[in-house]
Amino acid sequence: MNSFDAALIGAGGFARNHMSILERLQDEQALRTVAVADPNIAAIAPSANWKYQPGLRLYESLQKLLAEEECDLISIATPPFLHFDMVEAVLRHPRAFVYLEKPPVPLYTQLEGLLKNPASERVAVGFQFLESHLIQDVKRRLLAGEIGEIRAIRASAATPRADSYYQRSGWAGRLALGANAVFDGPASNGLAHLVHLIMFFGGADETAFALPDTITGRFLRARPIEAYDFAYLEGRLQQGPAFELAVCHCSEEHHPWIVRIEGTKGEIVFDQRSLESFNPAELLYQSYRGLLRVMTRESPRPRTRLQDCAGYLQAVCGAFAVSQGVTTMDARDIREAGEGTGRIYSVEKAARLVRAIAEGRESRAERWFEVPPSVNAASAARQENLLSQAGFIAPVR
């Protein structure tokens, strides 16, 4: 086995899951984790209980780590608003591959900037759902014509998020922090996998991802935050199929994510509960394994490269531009459930729309908001100062 030197950027939050996978890979002698960087490393390290902690070199910043280390693999598991600058810095490293936790960057224009660097081919993006055997099997069935020509791909989910979720960090529920775009919310962070899956299933071959041709949407908030907790996207892929997505955190009910693919000869429907292989830790492990196969030249590419995220970012950024910011929902539709840090802002209208898509019903009857006319997705996604022009706090309407 090849043994590569690896470093982890980020030590708290979801980065703990990445460290567990790196430790497993070190057990298998596939790599050796040599360094960890985090601004709070002095506070985190003493109680981290890392398996190989005695051999780890600790840094307070990525810049200090890059100045001292020659790594083969650098894993970035930090808040998404930090990704752009960090990937740019690592790509100046002469040889390092990058495992970048999803979402890759908040804005489509940032993705375009990274893709100008030829070294961006060394980046794998952690949309781990694609490691599922079921999802890969669905793609093969679609390409084999099992349901005929694809007419529409629809997805929905409601994942309740309480006060504790938004209090866990300074960037949760934000559109921006200073000059940094954050764009936190279900479609652009927590449930971004679903948008990416729509583009994957619309792709022309086993590894391809579709691009949206047209897009519209609405971004709404029930909770008093800067960002949004409900998103609705509707559009058409360049290959022709329509797509639709409704996702929210403003629901007392939990509705597992579901994808419905409608064709001229039938449909394929699957959800989170039907994925026998839906073990998040195992999917993350397989995602790392995929990048290691690229590094050893056993595989030509990871499941998701940076350029494969273009469809996802065109869709969410384009829809946000059309939505003209975030609209606050009518207070009469919002109900508070739970107490203390367990409080949830719940909107039954949002849950009904999620259920309508999940059940294959016409969603228009459940849409209590107007949807703007569709526009070209790529052009809308390139709007300058997307988040600031849209306005952080839009008027109620």
Q: Are residues 27 and 47 in the same domain?
A: yes
**pLDDT, tens digit only, all 397 positions of the chain:** 558 999 999 999 999 999 999 999 999 999 999 999 999 999 999 999 999 888 899 999 999 999 999 999 999 999 999 999 999 999 998 889 999 999 999 999 999 999 999 999 999 999 999 999 999 999 999 999 999 999 999 999 999 999 999 999 999 999 999 889 999 999 999 999 999 999 999 999 999 999 999 999 999 999 999 999 999 999 999 999 999 999 999 999 999 999 999 999 999 999 988 765 568 899 999 999 999 999 999 999 999 999 999 999 999 999 999 998 999 999 999 999 999 999 999 999 999 999 999 999 999 999 999 999 999 999 999 997 788 644 443 332 2
Q: Would residue 397 count as lying in a domain?
A: no
Q: Are residues 229 and 163 in the same domain?
A: yes
Q: Are residues 165 and 121 in the same domain?
A: no
The residue type found at 349 is K
Q: Are residues 102 and 204 in the same domain?
A: no
User: Using CA atoms, how far apart are residues 113 and 310, in angstroms rounded to an integer?
Assistant: 12
Q: Are residues 105 and 211 in the same domain?
A: no
Q: Are residues 116 and 141 in the same domain?
A: no
Q: Are residues 156 and 225 in the same domain?
A: yes
Q: Would residue 396 count as lying in a domain?
A: no
Q: Would residue 395 count as lying in a domain?
A: no
How many Cβ atoms are within 10 Å of 390's Cβ, its own excluded? 18
Q: Are residues 301 and 314 in the same domain?
A: no
User: Using CA atoms, how far apart are residues 339 and 118, in angstroms rounded to an integer?
Assistant: 51
How many Cβ atoms are within 10 Å of 161's Cβ, its own excluded? 19
CATH number of domain containing 163: 3.30.360.10
Q: Are residues 89 and 156 in the same domain?
A: no
Q: Are residues 48 and 123 in the same domain?
A: yes
Q: Would residue 51 count as lying in a domain?
A: yes
Q: Are residues 260 and 373 in the same domain?
A: yes
Q: Are residues 215 and 290 in the same domain?
A: no
Q: Which helix (H) or strand (E) holds 311?
A: helix 310-323
**Tally of domains within the chain:** 2
Quick one: angle between helices 310-323 and 108-115, nearest 10? 150
CATH number of domain containing 49: 3.40.50.720
Domain that holds residue 75: 4-129+281-305
